[in-house]
Structure 1
Amino acid sequence: MRRLLAPFSRPVPALLALLVAAQALFCWRLTTPHRLVFDEVHYVSAARTLLALDGPVNIEHPLLGKMLIAAGMLIFGDTPLGWRALSTLAGTAIVGGVFAIVWLMTRRTRPAATAALLTLVNFMVLVQARIAMLDGYMAAFLVLAIAMMGWAMRGSVAQSRWRWTLGAVLLGLAVGVKWAAVPYLGYAAIGFVLMKRGDASRWPELRWWSAWGLLGIGAGLAYAVTFTPAFFYAHDPLTLATLLPFQLDIYARQTQVLPPHTYQSLWWSWPVIGRPIWYFYEVADGAQRGIFLLGNPAVMWGGLVAVATCALGWVRTREVRLGFAAALWIGGFAIWAIIPKSLGFYYYYFLPAIWLSIAIAVAIDRWRPRLRDWDEAYLVAAVCLLVYFYPILTAGALAGPDSFARWTWFADWR
């Protein structure tokens, strides 16, 4: 077994194997069901309007995510494949980005591969990688931005600057998909100061005012450029004079009071999978099918233990990797307590759910001698749960209309 796994002890072969596995998993039966699912109704329609450059639509979110859906439709046609194809690439980028973040934190392949594998078997990543929604694109840009900024910590002065700037651009693109990425601009600015103070050799010769300037300029310009198609609308086109006021329109839509929804949930319930969402549960393509957005229980619940462990470990040892792993999840989750949204939905937990994989991998790596072989048993359990839930994550053919009961462990899951 050790000889068979030997090639995967090196980062590049391990990363490539995980990327191939992720892309294959996300693409398998991608076009099922052959109809719009959940919020695809909004975003595919908006992508069609963008392709026609007809006028503003779905203005509660910036344009980039809908532009990417439109790009898939240009390549593969206005079909289920076209709607969802680029979402699979975003999902694979998330897996690769998580691998890169943890490898940069630990300089070891095993924890990086562990984090990427847990991301791969995270049900939320799988579902969002197979649907034409915005969250997968936002998460992909954000994860890659964090990896790039981490890469900028070491290297020559020139390397540090261009990597940090590229990370800022990727953050701006994430905001250009959904404003839910905005808090991470602040986290990047604060994180730079704190980590630079702890070790001045990080980001060599890059001072805080330069870093903040590059962050603001890179992210701001990238975000502004994503509105380019709106300047060419046939009706109500944007102008340079209306670009900034249009942001107030987005904010007004983001904070409007909405009527109650069947699947609404409170932010504090998300970590324990309090109210997952049925994206789809109908007869389609000749069979009863369902798409259930929930988190892998092993990752969701085990991740909370890992975050607490990393946080306590940081308090005792001040190890940067432990503090960073805990802070990623805490910052990504706690912000939802103050974001002015009238309704909450479980898919808002998408980013914090990704950070759980990082916390788990870092905790396992830090305390692996105490775990003995339990970490491997845990990974097997996470994979087995994916196999068990797979039919209702990917619109597999079910026996009948009551089949959902097999997977709905709690009343709130129905």
Structure 2
Amino acid sequence: MSKPIEPSVGWFRLGLLSLFLGSLSLRFWGLGRFNAFVFDEVYYVKFAHNYLTQTPFFDGHPPLSKYLIAIGIWLGNQLPIGREAVNSLAGSALSTWSYRWLNALTGSFIPLVVAAIAYQLSLRRSYALIAGLFAAADGLFLVESRYALNNVYLVLFGLLGQLFFLMALRSQKWLLWMGIAGIWFGAAASIKWNGLWFLLGAYLLWFVAWSIRLVRFLLKSSVTDSVKTPLDRLTQLNPIGLGVMLAIVPAVFYRLIWIPHLRLNPDAGFWQLQQQILAYHERVGSGTAVHPYCSTWQSWILMIRPVAYFYQVTNSLQAPIPTSGAASPIVPGSVIYDVHAMGNPVLWWFSSAAIVLLIWALIENLNALFTTTRSSFIAPNELWIVVYLLVNYAANLLPWVRVTRCIFLYHYMGAAVFASMGLAWLVDRWLRSAIPRRRSLAVWTIGLILVAFIFWMPIYLGLPLMEWQYKLRMWFPTWV
């Protein structure tokens, strides 16, 4: 490895600000382009509107994201902007901007939180900037942020839980930061139950840390004589305090968040509603008969089956965009408006390869976890980063193996974050290498990811495309 070259604090802050402003611009630009309900907005906007009108209803997910969308609608209606496109699809006249703007703002923070996690892991500003850049260049996160859906809330809250969890491992005031982490983990579970996967990642890290300590004890390794990494620090914390902050605090938050919903829907109690939600998901089948874009967890790794959120065809650029009904057939001169919920293909494929490389690196350097043997490939104080990324990737992906209901590509978003962070970690190492070939590989990787993001941006933003331009971006039949 060559001598590390870190961006100065000033350049680091400028880089983070640029990531945020770029993400913000892409999420707000043309936010009201489709004056309709896009994909699951047909549910979430209506449910949010029900809270505002005090109309009882049943929802198959916890209520927090609908509270937030409702707050966004209320605030959006107080502002004299974004009223160019208005519809009454929810039962009252609402501007599309009013029910989408808060999601757009929320999604803009995800690259910053990813960068903060990367910095807490490595204390390297270069790694933080690369990880934040990759998060900003992910098309699926861009699409999910531009509509009144709930996945950006789940991912952001789960990542905030992980961020404060890491901050607790580096702070003497660990109990405070761990309590804040527990609140965010509870918030993630209050969006969807699979928000618990982020908390599962923290539990698994605790289990791994103690397993490593036990093996070191059995081997009488001197590594146990002092705290070496934040992973080792995890075994030094009071288990009772950890249990309170990472079990009781999330549970209490989850229970309290249901109070407004229960007051609106008094016919069922808290536990009865949880049983109804479970029964609802058990009734949902799988396969194309349930939904044409159902996919399997294995297919997410290579992004085999993205989801078309919006698709309409017009006969010219000047023609109004249809907001309902089946799409018109494509004829010469047709213009296609398509919003595809798909990741940046290059980023996702490279990130999947990075996970394989990290698994190989962990196996090759496994002895360094248990003994004082120095690794020739990864420094001992870096190996724990590999463990952290792989554990959280597994925690956000493997629980889906047992799920039998119809699931979609966006359920991979939690795992995809840690995969892209793994790729960013490798790229940062290559940039720091004394070998020119590795530095070139890093530059080419970053460049290809950014080029791919720009190339597929029209189907992230729903920009008009001619037929040949649309087909140029649909590389595989399963993408259509």
Partner of 1:270: 300
2: CA distance, partners of 1:214 / 1:181: 17
Partner of 1:76: 76
Partner of 1:224: 255
2:213 equivalent to 1:184 = no
Partner of 1:320: 384
Q: Which residue among 171, 174, 199 is the counterpart of 1:160? A: 174
**Counterpart residue identity of residue 253, structure 1:** Y
The number of residue pairs the alignment matches comes to: 401
**Counterpart residue identity of residue 38, structure 2:** V
TM-score, normalised to structure 1's length? Answer: 0.91
**Counterpart residue identity of residue 121, structure 1:** A
2: CA distance, partners of 1:409 / 1:277: 14
Following superposition of structure 1 onto structure 2, how do residues 126-165 of structure 1 map, counting pairs within 5 Å? Answer: 126-156=142-172, 159-165=173-179
**Counterpart residue identity of residue 51, structure 1:** L
Partner of 2:128: 112
- TM-superposed CA distance for 1:13, in Å, is 3.2
Q: Which residue among 254, 279, 294 is the counterpart of 2:281? A: 254
Query: SS state of the match for residue 32, structure 1?
Result: coil
- TM-superposed CA distance for 1:264, in Å, is 1.2
**2:182·2:249 contact (CA, 8 Å) conserved in 1?**
yes
Query: SS state of the match for residue 56, structure 1?
Result: coil
Q: Which residue among 383, 390, 413 is the counterpart of 2:457? A: 390
- TM-superposed CA distance for 1:326, in Å, is 2.0
- TM-superposed CA distance for 1:344, in Å, is 2.1
TM-score, normalised to structure 2's length? Answer: 0.79
Q: Which residue among 392, 403, 406 is the counterpart of 1:343? A: 406
1: CA distance, partners of 2:429 / 2:239: 30
Partner of 1:358: 421
Query: SS state of the match for residue 61, structure 1?
Result: coil
Q: Which residue among 229, 244, 253 is the counterpart of 2:271? A: 244
Distance 1:386 1:186, change over 3 A: closer
2:35 equivalent to 1:21 = no
- TM-superposed CA distance for 1:80, in Å, is 1.1
2:364 equivalent to 1:297 = no
- TM-superposed CA distance for 1:120, in Å, is 0.6
Give the fraction of aligned pairs with identical amino acids, expressed as a percent.
24
Distance 1:387 1:344, change over 3 A: same
- TM-superposed CA distance for 1:404, in Å, is 2.7
**Counterpart residue identity of residue 472, structure 2:** R
**1:160·1:204 contact (CA, 8 Å) conserved in 2?**
no
**1:87·1:131 contact (CA, 8 Å) conserved in 2?**
yes
RMSD: 2.2
2: CA distance, partners of 1:84 / 1:67: 13
Distance 1:204 1:323, change over 3 A: closer
1: CA distance, partners of 2:359 / 2:388: 9
Which ranges in structure 1 are unaligned for 5 or more consecutive residues? none
Query: SS state of the match for residue 293, structure 2?
Result: coil
- TM-superposed CA distance for 1:36, in Å, is 1.0
2: CA distance, partners of 1:10 / 1:407: 35
Partner of 2:82: none
Which shows bigger deviation, 192-201 or 300-309? 192-201
2:149 equivalent to 1:85 = no
Deviations 1:245-281 (A, max 9, x none): 2111111112213352211112211111111111111
**2:179·2:246 contact (CA, 8 Å) conserved in 1?**
yes
**Counterpart residue identity of residue 358, structure 2:** C
**Counterpart residue identity of residue 237, structure 1:** P
